[in-house]
Structure 1
Amino acid sequence: MLHTRTTPSERRRSFREQLASGRLLRIPGAINPLSTRLIQDTGFEAAYLSGAVLAAELGLPDIGLTTSTEIAARAQQTTRVTDLPVLIDADTGFGEPMNAARTVQLMEDAGLAGLHLEDQVNPKRCGHLDGKSVVPREDMVRRLRAAVDARRDPDFLLMARTDARSVAGLDAAIDRAKAYVDAGADAIFPEALVDESEYEAFRRAVDVPLLANMTEFGKTRLLDVDTLENLGFNIVLYPVTLLRVAMGAVEGGLRALAAEGTQRALVPRMQTRSRLYELLGYEEYSAFDSAVFDFTLPPGT
């Protein structure tokens, strides 16, 4: 049935093992629990919950308006349906170091494999917009140490994101990354790097796993997996790709429906009823209780 068959501890160990393998992990951002099933079915190694996507789902901009309990609830709905490790965007930890500590425990309880905390000030903004500000390095170190102290499962991954590249330059971002590793960060997310030379510089300077953020319409050129693997990065993130694809299709469908008065032309572009039912596991529910799935789908649906 539509539940994970693995425990959070197993998924966290799997995530750690994959990061240690030397292979590049490809992690698309989910837009809802069902899309996480598709991420799993299409062979990706993990799934991601983007703060921008979680905010957009609620009709909010990505400026720190969501709360830790809101994203923990969405995370639990997501981890319930997948055997993949799930990484989540925990923004700045939603407040002071004590808030970051609570956030870590909320995300552990939600079944996640890890989270990342960033060094922006509150209210934060999208990492590829201008006008960002970062907290003093010492403040972020306190944030991370609080997170490390609060962690109960040592396999739960604590990643530090630095937005300093766009604010103070590459050298400042690298210096911060080193300090964050010293404070206990298991991995580093350098936001808004601009070219391959900057990726190379980060790889030379930092000896923990590194994440490359391949978000569209941003400051970073979109690099393919072979390039990123050759640069020595461990994770490539596609945080908002699925939301943008899906919302583009939704908007196009609505315009076609409004213009044509029928959805007939849209049907070939739709996921079929049978594929949806396959993803939802109707037959597995039927095996559990035959009264649930006691009908036959018409051909071609």
Structure 2
Amino acid sequence: MVGPLYARMAEEIGFRVLFATGAGIANEAYGLPDLGVIGLREMLDVTTRIVRSSSLPVIADIDTGYGGTLNVVHTVREFALAGVAAVQIEDQTHPKRCGHFAGKQVVSTGEMLERLAAADEARGGSDLVILARTDALALEDFDSAMERVRRYVAAGADAVFVEAPTTMEELRRIPGEVPAPLVVNMVEGGRTPIVPTAELNEMGYRIALYANSALRSAMAATRKVLESLHATGGTAEVVDQLVPWADRQAAVDLEGWLALDDEISSRASGFAASGS
């Protein structure tokens, strides 16, 4: 999920949680690849706007924590102040890269345990959820990767995200290996088989991320409209594919803002009259 407008659409449709995807924010908000190029402030800025735009809980993608142990403390505190419900922190080296790219590297289990300890320290006694992600499945054997995440849970992770399993067998095995709620990532065209959410739930997963879907569908629709505009000099051939004007204004609560403006003007007029 990328951006406040999409967040509102997701809430209106009936979704129950939002994921502020690092890859999506890098791609859409900054036009950059998911190679760890953007940092704390860029991610925090967009994530904060997403939090404020919706009443849904938001999982913040904080990559590797943007540095060493003390950086993780600072990062988690900043995102907690922004109002997120959870932070996802991963065991890649810094700078990281998309979990479905080649060339990933992970830190030692010990270093990731330090990151988790720092995140736990930063949240204090709050109910902020710590989601530990591992990318070790691409670099270690299955049993070693599962041992990693079990240690992450023992260290205080509330939930676990095993990135990029490549087979149905791995998808089915992971829930039986991890004593914590599980997150799974469905990336169309990525390394992981695409499985319906009902089946994923039966396997034991509790949250399924479709972090690319809104962005990529918007890109496809935008390209089609722009190509038609460029070719024909107008939008007549694609106008039926545009969101209606009224729906666009409703999505940003135009009427609510206009009503608020009228209310404030009315209240100010009353004060002026009483003082004259």
TM-score, length basis structure 2? 0.92
Partner of 1:39: 10
1:228 aligns to 2:206 (yes or no): no
**Which of 71, 78, 83 is the equivalent residue of 1:111?**
83
Q: Could you tell me whether the CA contact under 8 Å between 2:229 and 2:235 is conserved in 1?
A: yes
1:76 aligns with 2:48: yes
Which position in structure 2 is the counterpart of 1:97? 69
2: distance between equivalents of 1:267 and 1:236? 33
Q: Equivalent residue for 1:53?
A: 24
- 1:245 deviates by 0.5
- Opposite residue 41 of structure 1, the aligned amino acid is E
Look up the equivalent residue of 2:4 and give its one-letter code: P
Is this contact kept in 1: 2:69–2:115, CA < 8 A? yes
Identify the residue that residue 253 of structure 1 maps to in structure 2. 225
Structure (1 or 2) with the larger CA radius of gyration: 2
Partners in 2 of 1:179 and 1:122 — Cα distance?
21
Task: Between 178-187 and 275-284, report the one with greater CA deviation.
Answer: 275-284
Rounded to whole Å, the distance in 2 between the matches of 1:135 and 1:97 is: 13
SS of the counterpart of 2:87? strand
Unaligned runs of 5+ in 1: 1-28, 293-301
| 1:273 is the counterpart of 2:245 | yes
SS at match of 1:277: helix
Distance 1:203 1:196 in 2: 12
| Aligned match of 1:24 | none
**Matched AA of 1:240:** N
Of structures 1 and 2, the one with the larger relative CO (CA 8 A, separation 6+) is: 1
Q: 1:153 deviation in Å?
A: 4.8
Select the residue among 148, 161, 165 that pairs with 1:189.
161
- The one-letter amino acid of 1:39's match is A
CA contact (8 A) 1:73 1:110 kept: no
SS of alignment partner, residue 289 of structure 1: helix
AA matched with 1:106: E
Give the deviation of 1:162 after TM superposition.
0.2
Where in structure 2 are there 5+ consecutive unaligned residues? Answer: 265-276
Contact preservation (8 Å) 2:149, 2:178: yes
| Aligned-partner Cα distance in 2 for 1:165–1:218 | 14
Higher helix proportion (structure 1 or 2): 2
CA distance in 2, matches of 1:93, 1:71: 11
Distance in 2 of aligned mates of 1:217 and 1:58: 22
Distance in 2 (CA, whole Å) between partners of 1:239 and 1:98 is: 28
Q: Identity across aligned pairs (percent)?
A: 36
Question: Letter of the aligned partner of 1:200 in structure 2?
Answer: R
Task: Render the CA deviation track for 1:11-68: whole Å, top value 9, x for unaligned.
Answer: xxxxxxxxxxxxxxxxxx2x21111000000000111111111111201111111111
What RMSD over aligned residues (CA atoms) do the two structures have, in Å? Answer: 1.4
Conservation of the 8 A alpha-carbon contact between 2:150 and 2:179: no
